[in-house]
A = this chain, B = another copy of it.
Amino acid sequence: MKFSNMFIPTTKEAPKDATLPSHQFLVRGGFVNQVGAGIYNFMPLGKIVLEKIRAVVKEEMDNAGANEVQMGFVTPTSLWEESGRASTMGPELLKFRDRKNTSFVLSPTNEEALVDMVNNRITSYKELPINLYQINTKFRDEARPRFGLMRGREFLMKDAYSFHSTHEDLVREFNLMEKTYKKVYERLGLEFRIVEADSGAIGGSGSKEFMILANSGEDTIAVCDSCDYGANVEAATRKPNKKEALETKEIQKIHTPNCKTIEEVSNFLNIDAYYSIKAVIKKAIYENSSEVVVFFVRGTDELEETKACNAVEALEILDATPEDLQSANLVAGYCGIIDLPKDIKVIVDSELKDDNNVVCGANEQEYHLTGVDLTSLDLTFKDLILVQEGDTCPHCDGKLSYTKGIEAGHIFQLGTKYSSAMNATFLDANGKAQPFIMGCYGIGVSRLVAAVIEQNHDEKGCIWTKPTAPFMVDVIVSNAKKEDELEVGEKIYNSLKENQIETILDDRKNARFGFKMGDFELIGFPYAVVIGKKLKDGMVEIIDRKTLEKIDVSIDEVVSKLIELIN
In the assembled complex, A72 has its CB within 8 A of some CB on chain B = yes
Q: Which 3 A-B pairs have the closest CB atoms?
A: A96-B96, A9-B121, A44-B67
Q: Are B143 and A99 in contact (CB under 8 A)?
A: yes
Cα–Cα distance between A130 and B9 once the two chains are bound (Å): 12
Tell me how many residues of A have a C-beta within 8 Å of chain B.
59
In the assembled complex, A104 has its CB within 8 A of some CB on chain B = yes
Q: Are A117 and B154 in contact (CB under 8 A)?
A: no
Cα–Cα distance between A132 and B37 once the two chains are bound (Å): 23
Cα–Cα distance between A141 and B100 once the two chains are bound (Å): 9
Q: Are B72 and A132 in contact (CB under 8 A)?
A: no
Residues of A within 8 A of B (CB): 5-7, 9, 30, 33, 35-37, 39-44, 46-48, 50-51, 65, 67-76, 91, 94, 96-100, 102, 104, 106, 113, 116-118, 121-122, 124, 126, 130, 132, 134, 137, 139, 141, 143, 153-154, 510
Task: Give 5 A-B contacts (CB < 8 Å), ordered by A residue.
Answer: A35-B72, A37-B100, A40-B72, A74-B106, A74-B153
Chain B neighbourhood of A510, CB < 8 A: 124, 126
Q: Are B113 and A41 in contact (CB under 8 A)?
A: yes
Q: Are A7 and B99 in contact (CB under 8 A)?
A: no
Chain B neighbourhood of A73, CB < 8 A: 73, 137, 139, 154
A1 to chain B: closest residue by CB: B67
Chain B neighbourhood of A33, CB < 8 A: 117, 121
Chain B neighbourhood of A98, CB < 8 A: 37, 94, 141, 153
Cα–Cα distance between A14 and B102 once the two chains are bound (Å): 24
Known contacts A36-B75, A72-B154, A98-B94: does B7 contact A132 (CB below 8 Å)?
yes
Chain B neighbourhood of A121, CB < 8 A: 7, 9, 30, 33
Chain B neighbourhood of A118, CB < 8 A: 7
Chain B neighbourhood of A91, CB < 8 A: 99
Cα–Cα distance between A42 and B110 once the two chains are bound (Å): 14
Cα–Cα distance between A42 and B510 once the two chains are bound (Å): 47
- In the complex, besides A7-B121, A46-B70, 4 extra interface pairs with C-beta distance below 8 angstroms are A39-B74, A72-B154, A73-B139, A94-B98
Task: Report whether over half of chain A's contact residues are helix, strand or loop; otherwise say mixed.
Answer: mixed
Q: Are A36 and B72 in contact (CB under 8 A)?
A: yes
Cα–Cα distance between A121 and B72 once the two chains are bound (Å): 33
Chain B neighbourhood of A137, CB < 8 A: 73, 137
Chain B neighbourhood of A39, CB < 8 A: 72, 74-75
B97, B102, B130, B153: the one within 8 Å of A7 (CB): B130
Cα–Cα distance between A46 and B67 once the two chains are bound (Å): 11
Q: Are A117 and B71 in contact (CB under 8 A)?
A: no
B9, B94, B117: the one within 8 Å of A41 (CB): B117
B43, B94, B97: the one within 8 Å of A69 (CB): B43
* Minimum Cβ distance to chain B for residue A74 (Å): 5
A76 to chain B: closest residue by CB: B36
* Minimum Cβ distance to chain B for residue A151 (Å): 15
Which of A36, A70, A76, A118 counts the most B-chain CB atoms under 10 A from its CB?
A70
Cα–Cα distance between A5 and B30 once the two chains are bound (Å): 42
Chain B neighbourhood of A9, CB < 8 A: 121-122
Q: Are A44 and B7 in contact (CB under 8 A)?
A: no
* Minimum Cβ distance to chain B for residue A96 (Å): 3
Q: Are A122 and B75 in contact (CB under 8 A)?
A: no
A43 to chain B: closest residue by CB: B69
Q: Are A41 and B65 in contact (CB under 8 A)?
A: no
Cα–Cα distance between A518 and B126 once the two chains are bound (Å): 20
A97 to chain B: closest residue by CB: B96
Chain B neighbourhood of A47, CB < 8 A: 68-70, 134
Chain B neighbourhood of A104, CB < 8 A: 36
Known contacts A7-B130, A35-B113, A67-B7: does B99 contact A41 (CB below 8 Å)?
no
Which of A5, A43, A91 counts the most B-chain CB atoms under 10 A from its CB?
A43
B5, B42, B67: the one within 8 Å of A70 (CB): B42
Chain B neighbourhood of A41, CB < 8 A: 69-72, 113, 117
Chain B neighbourhood of A68, CB < 8 A: 44, 47-48, 51
Chain B neighbourhood of A37, CB < 8 A: 98, 100, 102
A132 to chain B: closest residue by CB: B7
Chain B neighbourhood of A122, CB < 8 A: 7, 9
B75, B141, B153: the one within 8 Å of A35 (CB): B75
Chain B neighbourhood of A44, CB < 8 A: 67-69, 132
